[in-house]
Structure 1
Amino acid sequence: MPLLFSYGTLRDPAVQIANFGRPLAGRDDSVLGFRLGQVEITDPHVLAVSGLTHHPILVATGDPADAVAGAVLTLTDDDLLRADEYEVDDYHRIEAPLASGDTAWVYVGRK
């Protein structure tokens, strides 16, 4: 089962239920080599589900000393596709190292 690191709205149980039909199992972790920025959300569906006009977005620094806290969520392959549909075009999904030693999918800012 894929792991997805979430540092933003996908940690919200209401957003999880709206996108996946259920709350997701998760555990605390941090992604390495990134810092947080913000992106303005204009997609009507995402605005309605999250209730927020701005979402956090990861910006790569390349410095493993930089870390962003969040949660590792265990998904199905179908869940991962639903997460892709939820995220706006400002994000793209990559694999990244976590403080726990795991690797997980994570949505980061497009360059």
Structure 2
Amino acid sequence: MIQLLFSYGTPQQPEVQRATFGRELTGHRDAIVGYHLDYVTISDAHVDGTVFAISETELAAADAYEVDDYRRIEVPLRSGPTAWVYVFAG
């Protein structure tokens, strides 16, 4: 089953994708609404990033890549569907 993974950070980088998933991912720009990044001020509460369609095995690889400071949650995308994203666990 295909999973959607939203990234606003390093998983958008081709070298991280090759190391984590064994391939470069193809994605499209989107945003999650109702969230903001802690270290910047965003007046309209959204986070821009890229959405990737990945397999469940690749989602498990993404889980292994992310450090314990982050947890995976499902969020609505501006374009309509929901996707997984890693957020600060603290």
TM-score, normalised to structure 1, is 0.74
The one of 40, 48, 69 aligned to 1:90: 69
Structure 2: tracts of 5 or more residues without a match = none
Matched residue of 2:37: which SS?
Answer: strand
Q: Distance in 1 between matches of 2:76 and 2:45?
A: 12
Counterpart residue number, 2:45? 66
Matched residue of 1:16: which SS?
Answer: helix
Q: Distance in 2 between matches of 1:18 and 1:110?
A: 24
Counterpart residue number, 1:30? 31
Counterpart residue number, 1:103? 82
Q: 1:26 Cα deviation (Å)?
A: 0.4
Counterpart residue number, 2:10? 9
Q: 1:73 Cα deviation (Å)?
A: 0.6
Segments of 4+ moved more than 3 angstroms: none
Q: 1:32 Cα deviation (Å)?
A: 1.1
Question: Which residue identity is paired with 1:93?
Answer: R
Structure 1: tracts of 5 or more residues without a match = 39-64
Give me the identity figure in percent: 52
Aligned residues: 85
RMSD: 1.0
